[in-house]
């Protein structure tokens, strides 16, 4: 991609002179930072080509914010740069996600691989084309069904008794009163030794 230094200088003057475009520039730079895009000539080119198109669009869509136009154009540039790593069948709104997944997976200490895709072997490219973030393996379903608990006959009698007594224990005040009455009876009974 050949862009003359004069053109770049003019573009920058244009961006720097407008607060709206300045904010857009900062925003897109931050986004590329968030994507861990290294400071290279390719990053510069992504920025400039995106802004060039965004400025052209702004003339046609004067009421659309510059940040929005710049972001959309930056997305398109990324889309173009990573086009050979994303399957063509991937829907438009999903492409950005898939691109970011690939940038994330291949990120290293030097940042992401934007602009360095030419250095990749065909094997790596193929692997990246096929990659799909899958957190769990395919199902191999099995059945696990509980058997109901069967009680012994003394157990059933105890449960039946507990069910009858449960209304007494369900109320806190009644429960405390019953407890205190039992304790009182015990104390009374203990006043005299056998």
Partner 1 sequence: MSENHRSGKLVGLIGAAGVKEAFHKKVRQRRLGVALVTFGISFLGLWLMIDIVGARGWTPLEVLEIGLFGVLFTNLAFGFTQAFLGFLVLAEGHEPLKITNTLDETTPLASTAVVMPVYNEDAETVFGNVRALYESIQQRHELDSYDFYILSDSTDPAKAIEEELAWSDICRQTNGFGKIHYRRRKLPVNRKSGNIADFCRRWGHRHRYMVVLDADSLMTGAAVSSLVRLMETNPRAGIIQTMPRLAKTETLFGRIQQFASRVYSPIFAAGLNFWQQGAGNYWGHNAIIRVSPFLASCALPGLPGREPLGGRILSHDFVEAALMRNAGWEVWFAYDLDGSYEGLPPNLTEYVKRDRRWCQGNLQHMWFLLAQNIQPISRIHLVQGILAYASAPLLVLFVLFGGLQAGIDRLQEKVGTFSAASAGVLLLMTVILLFGPKVLSLLHLFARPKEIASFGGPVRVLLSAVLETLFSILTAPVLVWFHTRFVLRNIGGQTVLWHTQTRDGGAGPRWIEIVREYWPLPIAGVGLGALAWWIAPSYLAWLSPMLIGLLLAIPVAKLSARTDLFRNLFLTPEELQPPQELSARFQLQLRDGDQFVHAVLDPFYNAVHVALQRSREAGSPAVDGYVASLATRLFKEGPECLTSQQKRALLADGETLAFMHNLIWKTPSEMMNPAWALALAQYRSSFRRNRSKPEAPQASLTKTHSAAA
Show contacts with partner 1 in window 1-60 (CB under 8 A): 5, 8-9, 12-13, 15-16, 20, 22-25, 27, 29-31, 33-35, 39, 43-44, 47
Segment contacting partner 1 (CB under 8 A): 55-63, 79-87, 115-123, 182-190? Answer: 182-190
Dihedral pair phi/psi, residue 173, rounded to 5°: -65, -45
Cβ closer to partner 1: 101 or 124? 101
In the complex, what is the shortest distance from the CB of residue 17 to partner 1, in angstroms, rounded to a whole number? 8
How is residue 46 written in tokens? 């992504």
Q: What is the DSSP letter of 113?
A: -
In the complex, what is the shortest distance from the CB of residue 148 to partner 1, in angstroms, rounded to a whole number? 5
- What's the CA gap between 88 and 95, in Å, rounded? 9
- What's the CA gap between 111 and 99, in Å, rounded? 15
Give which of 41, 53, 56, 58 is closest to 1, Cα–Cα. Answer: 41
Query: Which positions from 62 through 91 interact with partner 1, judged by CB under 8 A?
Result: 65-68, 71-72, 75
Query: Which positions from 92 through 151 interact with partner 1, judged by CB under 8 A?
Result: 93-94, 96-101, 103-105, 107, 132-137, 139-151
User: CB count, 10 Å around CB of 113?
Assistant: 25
Cβ closer to partner 1: 121 or 134? 134
In the complex, what is the shortest distance from the CB of residue 129 to partner 1, in angstroms, rounded to a whole number? 15
In the complex, what is the shortest distance from the CB of residue 5 to partner 1, in angstroms, rounded to a whole number? 8
Cβ closer to partner 1: 2 or 136? 136
Number of residues that bind partner 1 (CB under 8 A): 80
Q: Is the CB of residue 61 less than 8 Å from the CB of residue 30? A: no
Residues 6+ apart with CB under 8 A from 174: 168
Q: What is the DSSP letter of 142?
A: -
């Amino acid at each position: 991609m050949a862009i003359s230094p004069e053109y770049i200088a003019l573009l920058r003057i244009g961006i720097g002179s407008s607060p709206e475009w300045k904010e857009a520039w900062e925003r897109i730079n931050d986004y590329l930072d968030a994507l861990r895009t290294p400071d290279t000539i390719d990053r510069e080119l992504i920025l400039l080509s995106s802004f060039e198109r965004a400025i052209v669009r702004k003339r046609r869509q004067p009421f659309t914010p510059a940040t929005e136009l710049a972001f959309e154009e930056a997305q398109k540039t990324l889309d173009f740069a990573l086009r050979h790593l994303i399957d063509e069948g991937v829907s438009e709104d999903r492409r950005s996600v898939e691109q970011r997944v690939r940038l994330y997976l291949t990120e290293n200490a030097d940042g992401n691989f934007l602009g360095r895709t030419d250095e990749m072997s065909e094997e790596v490219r193929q692997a990246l084309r096929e990659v799909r973030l899958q957190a769990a393996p395919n199902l191999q379903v099995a059945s696990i069904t509980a058997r109901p608990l069967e009680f012994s006959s003394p157990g059933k009698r105890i449960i039946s008794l507990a069910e009858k007594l449960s209304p007494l224990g369900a109320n806190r005040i009644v429960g405390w009163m019953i407890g205190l009455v039992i304790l009182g009876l015990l104390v009374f009974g203990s006043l005299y030794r056998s």
